[in-house]
Amino acid sequence: MSREELHRQGFRDEAHDLLAELEEALLTLEAVPTDAELIGRVFRAMHTIKGSGAMFGFERIAAFTHEIETVFDLVRNGRVGITKDLLDLTLAARDRIRDMLDEDGGDAAGEARSEDILRGFRAYLPAAGKAAAPSPDLAAPDPAAGEAARVEQVWHIRFRPARTIFLAGGNPAGLLGELGELGEARVVGHAEDVPEFSELEPELCYLWWDVLLRTAAGELAIRDVFMFVEDESLIEVGLVAESGEELDEDGYRRLGEILVARGDISPKNLEEALRGQKKLGSILTESGLVSRENVDSALAEQDAVRELKSEKRKDEAQTTIRVPAEKLDNLVDLVGELVIVQARIRQAAERSTDAVLGNLSEELELLSDSLRDATLNIRMLPIGTTFNRFQRLVRDLSAELGKSIKLLTKGGETELDKTVLDQLNDPLVHLLRNAIDHGIESPEAREAKGKPRTGTIELSAEHSGGEVLVRVTDDGKGLNREAIRAKGLERGLITPESQLSDKELMFLIFSPGFSTAQAITSVSGRGVGMDVVKRCIDSLRGSIDIESTVGTGTTITVKLPLTLAIIEGLQVRVGGEYFVVPLAMVEECVELEHSREETGRRRFIASRGEMVPYIRIRDWFAVPGTAPAIEQIVIAHLASGRLGLAVDQVIGEHQTVIKSLGRIYREVEGLSGATVRGDGSLALILDVPSLYRSVLSHRNRTAAAGG
Instruction: Look at 38-52, 209-223, 519-533 and tell me which has the smallest mean pLDDT.
Output: 519-533
Considering the entire predicted model, what is its pTM? 0.60
> Quick one: the chain helix, strand, coil %, rounded to 5?
45, 20, 30
User: Are 570 and 607 spatial neighbours (Cβ–Cβ below 8 Å)?
Assistant: no
CATH class of segment(s) 151-245: alpha beta
Q: Which amino acid is residue 105, in one-letter code? A: G
CATH superfamily of 3-140: HPT domain (1.20.120.160)
Q: Which amino acid is residue 564, in one-letter code? A: L
H, E, C per residue of 157-194:
EEEECCCCCCCCCCCHHHHHHHHHHHEEEEEEEECCCC
- Judged against a pLDDT cut of 60, whether residue 130 lies above it is answered with no
The per-residue pLDDT for range 602-625, each reduced to its tens digit, is 588 888 888 888 889 998 888 988
Domain limits, CATH 1.20.120.160, in the chain: 3-140
Residues classed as catalytic: 47, 69, 434
Parallel, antiparallel, or unpaired for β 234-242 and 405-410?
A: unpaired
User: Are 28 and 38 spatial neighbours (Cβ–Cβ below 8 Å)?
Assistant: yes
Domain limits, CATH 1.10.287, in the chain: 325-378
Q: Residues 234-246: what's their mean pLDDT?
A: 69
Domain limits, CATH 3.30.565.10, in the chain: 389-561
495 Cα distance to chain centroid: 44
Nearest to 633 by CA among 678, 665, 603: 603
Model pLDDT, residue 465: 62
Parallel, antiparallel, or unpaired for β 630-638 and 380-382?
A: unpaired
pLDDT confidence bin for 129, thresholds 50/70/90: very low
Model pLDDT, residue 252: 46
Fold that domain 389-561 belongs to in CATH: Heat Shock Protein 90 (3.30.565)
Q: Residues 177-190: what's their mean pLDDT?
A: 85
Q: Please give the share of the chain, as a percent, with pLDDT higher than 70.
A: 78
Average pLDDT of the chain to the nearest whole number: 79
271 Cβ contact partners less than 8 Å away, ≥ 6 residues apart? none
CATH number of 566-705: 2.30.30.40
447 Cα distance to chain centroid: 36
Fold that domain 325-378 belongs to in CATH: Helix Hairpins (1.10.287)
Cα gap 536→530, rounded to integer Å: 10
The per-residue pLDDT for range 523-534, each reduced to its tens digit, is 554 444 688 888
The per-residue pLDDT for range 455-494, each reduced to its tens digit, is 999 999 988 766 788 999 999 999 888 888 888 888 888 8
User: Are 616 and 602 spatial neighbours (Cβ–Cβ below 8 Å)?
Assistant: no
User: Are 640 and 694 spatial neighbours (Cβ–Cβ below 8 Å)?
Assistant: no
Cα gap 657→644, rounded to integer Å: 24
Domain limits, CATH 3.30.70.1110, in the chain: 151-245
User: Are 45 and 22 spatial neighbours (Cβ–Cβ below 8 Å)?
Assistant: yes
Q: Please give the share of the chain, as a percent, with pLDDT higher than 90.
A: 12
pLDDT confidence bin for 444, thresholds 50/70/90: very high
Residue, of 450 and 318, whose pLDDT is higher: 450
User: Are 150 and 76 spatial neighbours (Cβ–Cβ below 8 Å)?
Assistant: yes
**DSSP result, 604-620:** EEEETTEEEEEEEHHHH
